[in-house]
Amino acid sequence: MLRIALPLGGTDCGQSGIGVYLRAIVPRLCRALSASGGELTVFGTPIDVDAYDDVLGDARRVVLPSLLTSPGINALFHFLGAGVLSAHAKASVLFLPAASRRIVARSPIPTVAVVHDIAPLYVPGKYDALRTFYLKHSVMPALRHASHIVAVSHFTQNDIARSLECPLSRIDVVPNGVDVQRFTPPVFGDERVQAARIHLNMDGPYILYLGRLEHPGKNHLRLIEAFAASTLAANHTLVLAGQDWGALPLIRDAASRLQIAHRMHITGFLPDEIIPGLVAGADSVAMVGLYEGFGLPALEALAAGRPVFVANTGALTEVTGDLAASCDPLDCNSIQRALETTITDSKFRTRALAEGPTHALQYGWDSAADELLSICRRAAAASAN
């Protein structure tokens, strides 16, 4: 019988891409384990457990002291104690869904470590000095001891292999999925689109960028400059949707300096039920982060048949193939050209609508969960032998 322990710490309480990942994977793991007589045990602080309670199903919940809510203390607890706690809970495997944020130094049971990206090693200023030091000198050395390392893209697999100086075969690739039942092309009078517009009190055509407001990693300032320089600023709105991670003052200053604040809509964090309608109603979807480990919003946009433009760095072109217009994320002119292509090139737009949903079908959360479960079973079996 397979018992998996899974920490919820370091996943932003569901308010980021890693949170989306966890909300998709956890219920599938829980159902599969229950069906086979296994068990999923999740552990986290009260705020973590509350954030995911609606998707935890019959998973066993271990609530940690609120003292561990502080990120630094939380990371230290995981580093030194998560393996012991998991073994005490009689788990067969410790599954780390955000291993670049929460890793264990050593564990008495096998560990499966999922890495979404190691961008802070390559993007100066993405994290503060302390968090970058922690990633470089604690996470990466500890990752060497994981029973199995999982990357969400081949790009991230190569990054990890290069950083750890290990063979690619040491790292499994299990891509993220997309919910093609929720992210679908718009139809006439689409109620999802109308609900999103009402929620945001917004009308008219818009360009959407889904991602936390983080500087410099998510590259909002160059996107704003490219938008301001384009002809699209005359009748489109640039919608920036995501939790503020410190970049909001810089974004507002840029909008004011470029005199386009009236053509921008900054939404803050949005409820999950609003996102599919917001994506479906967009004239174009941007994903121009400097170093994305996967880029799920770009795939969700393709599933909805929306034209997409992406940075030509990171994993974005791997995920979107040739269906997205690509740009140099460090060049505002390049970003502007890609943006304008998605709006003005009718053949490009038609192809996105026709082929995007089919392309997205290659990426499923069910298959991702199945592969992860298989890796956990292999880790447990190897430990038992």
Q: Please tell me the predicted confidence (pLDDT) of residue 126.
A: 83
> Per the structure block, which two tokens stand in for 16?
């980021």
d(CA 318, CA 162): 18
The segments of the chain whose pLDDT lies below 70 read 385
For 170, other C-beta atoms within 10 Å of its C-beta total 14
* pLDDT over 70 percentage in the chain: 99
Specify whether 220 is located in the same domain as 95.
no
Q: Are residues 10 and 107 located together in one domain of the fold?
A: yes
Whether residue 18 is found in the same domain as residue 164: yes
pLDDT at 123: 86
- What was the pLDDT predicted at 1? 86
Whether 268 and 373 map to the same domain: the answer is: no
The reply to whether 384 falls in a domain is no
In a domain, 149, yes or no: yes
User: Which secondary-structure segment (H or E) carries 327?
Assistant: strand 325-327
> Does 183 reside within a domain?
no
Co-location of 336 and 235 in the same domain: yes
Evaluate whether residue 185 is within a structural domain.
no
Whether 68 is covered by a domain: the verdict is yes
CATH code at position 259: 3.40.50.2000
Distance CA 37, CA 34 (A): 5
Q: What is the pLDDT of residues 230-239, one digit of tens each?
A: 999 999 999 9
Please, which residues bridge with residue 151 across strands?
115, 173
User: What total number of domains does the chain contain?
Assistant: 2
Does 49 share its domain with 118? yes
251 and 154 assigned to the same domain: no
Radius of gyration in angstroms for the set of CA atoms belonging to the chain, rounded to a whole number: 21
Q: How far apart are the first and last CA of the chain?
A: 15
Structural domain of 326: 191-360
Q: Is residue 186 part of a domain?
A: no
Residues 227, 355, single domain; the answer is yes
The pLDDT tens digits of the residues spanning 137-173 come to 999 999 999 999 999 999 999 999 999 999 999 999 9
Confirm whether 114 is domain-assigned. Answer: yes
User: What distance separates the 2 farthest-apart alpha carbons in the chain?
Assistant: 66
Q: In this structure, are 14 and 160 located in the same domain?
A: yes
196 and 164 fall within a common domain? no
Q: What are phi and psi of 95, to 5 degrees?
A: -100, 120
Do residues 92 and 170 share a domain?
Answer: yes
- Nearest CA to 58 out of 32, 30, 86, 36 is that of 30
Q: Does one domain contain both 100 and 231?
A: no
Q: Is 383 inside a domain boundary?
A: no
pLDDT at 385: 66
pTM: 0.94
User: What pLDDT is attached to residue 125?
Assistant: 84
